[in-house]
Amino acid sequence: MPKAILLKNKTTPKDPYLENFVSNGYSADFVPLLDHIHMEKAEIIAFLKTDYFLHKTLAFIITSQRAVEMLNECMSILKHTDPDITQIIYNKPVYTVGPATYRILADAGFMDLRGGDKAGNGCILAQIILNDDIYTGIEDSDKHITFFTGETRRDIIPKCLLSNNFQLYEKIVYKTLPRDDIVTRFKSAIDNIDQSQRSSSWVIFFSPQGTEEIVSYLQRTKDQFNIASIGPTTEKYLLGKNLKPKVVAPKPEPVSLLLSIQKNGLNTR
């Protein structure tokens, strides 16, 4: 069967990209590019219990599935130690990008989710935040919002909010380090593709971060592989490396990605 090589860490407890590809006749391999190291849970839990977060912060932003995993682990602990605090947090407005992260948050118990499939990237999400009615009549000095993020993140959302006088607090909940086995894992995934299935198999980029060695490999052998990008930012990066994706997902989520790949297959028959 054709294979999807997913250049990302597998999301736990379940990965929607894996589920979607496997249920549609693909095998799938993950090639992790980065090690995600969570910060100390005790530190994050202590912040979640502060008066600032519980009562002054109007809403929070969380766009990374790694950040969601860390938050969910902390919330699981709080459920047992401080259930009243847990309910306050679950009812806070939460802004997120894309339906996949939205779904994980909803499954975890967060009740007031905003953005999701209406926000395909950080720029759109920032505009959703700026136009949200919950800030109507609120003094700029009281527009407190927390961004749970990794040590490395894009500047789009912070720059937009800060330039519009939001009181943004960034809480780092994980950091990333490059792996030293990227090319070895990638070559192993490639070697496991049956020669007859190569033309219908895909290498899927989710972010530029950590892909330098794989890009160099593909630049030497690019005619052998179909390349897909999860969105326009990653597409721009690949084009700058003279790698043209055959598919760019219209939305950064599993169904849109797979439908685009299937449509490409029909058009090339």
Task: CATH number of the domain at 105, please.
Answer: 3.40.50.10090
Question: Do 29 and 83 fall into the same domain?
Answer: no
- Consecutive 10-residue averages of pLDDT for the chain (269 residues): 92 87 95 86 97 98 92 96 97 93 93 91 92 95 96 86 96 88 91 84 92 91 83 93 94 91 71
Question: Do 45 and 171 fall into the same domain?
Answer: yes
Domain that holds residue 249: 3-33+182-267
Question: Do 146 and 220 fall into the same domain?
Answer: no
Question: Do 163 and 88 fall into the same domain?
Answer: yes
Q: Is 233 left (phi over 0), alpha (psi -120 to 50) or beta?
A: alpha
Of 177, 203, 219, the residue that ends a domain is 177
Question: Do 73 and 161 fall into the same domain?
Answer: yes
Please report the pLDDT score of residue 248 as a whole number: 96
Under 8 Å between Cβ of 102 and 115: yes
For helices 212-221 and 182-191, the axis angle rounded to 10 degrees is 40
Please report the pLDDT score of residue 223 as a whole number: 59
Question: Do 212 and 122 fall into the same domain?
Answer: no
User: Model-level pTM greater than 0.85?
Assistant: no
Under 8 Å between Cβ of 119 and 102: no
Question: Do 125 and 197 fall into the same domain?
Answer: no
Of 158, 177, 196, the residue that ends a domain is 177
Under 8 Å between Cβ of 124 and 131: no
Please report the pLDDT score of residue 222 as a whole number: 59
* Number of domains making up the chain: 2
Question: Do 166 and 43 fall into the same domain?
Answer: yes
Q: Is the peptide bond before 13 cis (omega within 30 degrees of 0)?
A: yes
Under 8 Å between Cβ of 146 and 161: no
Please report the pLDDT score of residue 269 as a whole number: 42
